Amino acid sequence: MITNGAAMRQIQATTRDWYRITNRADTAPEVFIYGEIGWDGITADDLVRDLAAIDADEITVRINSPGGSVFGGIAIYNALRTHPATVNVLVDSMAASIASVIAQAGDTRRMVQHSQMMIHEANGIAIGSGKEIREYAELLDKQSDLIASIFAERSGKPEAIFRALMANETFFSAEEAVETGLADEVMIPARRDPENLMVTDSTTTDSVENEILEHEEAEPIIEEEPPPPKPPTDFSDLFK
């Protein structure tokens, strides 16, 4: 979203930070981007300043954002790309609009299972004469070209593909984001290793053993085979 300076200043005067940074001795610092960037959520100048203060070999960036300010998002993207640390991005739920661009800043880009990504053209609000509106439309087109160039650079695919996908406001599942080159892999959370019965902190070994005993004593249950899963959207034709 792009708007004029007066409107942005009025909006930012009432914002509150929706990002946070945790920095513990036993893990890499984590940056949580959970909110609208530059609107009623995260302000780019504060986040960029805090990123610059991080002195670590690795940074984990976790994203659940509907997007927000194009200029603010590009500033965050560039701050992450130029940071000396290795940046590991994790999309926890949604990386939409300019948040999908921030996700491309990672040296590694992972989509948590069932997370999503959405890309679209830059959009905004303008008031003025016909000449001013036409100039504003040209500005939006330039921002869309810039965003598509980032997607192309990080995916290794032609920019024109992403301009077409952006024009259609395309939503990707985690698997589709990987297929399109906007992420490296899908992270599937594993709460228990069935081979050696590894458990999470919230589960005890005794509870696992009791569950196994109860399962062995129970009557066998015959279940019908589930229907085959719906095949993912095929983007392969776009990449020929």
| Helical segments of the chain, H only | 5-12, 44-52, 70-81, 98-103, 130-155, 159-167, 174-180, 205-217
Q: Which of 100, 115, 120, 144 is catalytic?
A: 120
Is 83 one of the annotated active-site residues of the chain? no
Is 97 one of the annotated active-site residues of the chain? yes
Q: Which residue has the tokens 């008031």?
A: 127
The more confident residue out of 162 and 10 is 162
Judge whether residue 25 has pLDDT over 60.
Answer: yes
- The reported pTM is 0.74
Phi, psi of 7 (to 5 degrees): -65, -40
pLDDT tens for residues 86-98?
999 999 999 999 9
CA 102 to CA 79: how far, in whole Å?
Answer: 10
pLDDT tens for residues 38-53?
865 557 888 899 999 9
Nearest by Cα to 62 from 30, 105, 26: 30
CA 144 to CA 70: how far, in whole Å?
Answer: 10
- Of 6-15, 64-73, 141-150, minimum mean pLDDT range: 6-15
pLDDT tens for residues 177-229?
999 999 999 999 887 655 654 443 444 434 444 544 454 555 555 556 666 66
DSSP codes, 131-159: HHHHHHHHHHHHHHHHHHHHHHHHH-S-H
CATH entry 3.90.226.10 includes domain 5-187: yes
Q: What is the dihedral of CA 44, 46, 34, 55, to 10 degrees?
A: 110
Q: Which of 97, 100, 115, 144 is catalytic?
A: 97
What number of other Cβ atoms are within 10 A of residue 38's Cβ?
A: 27
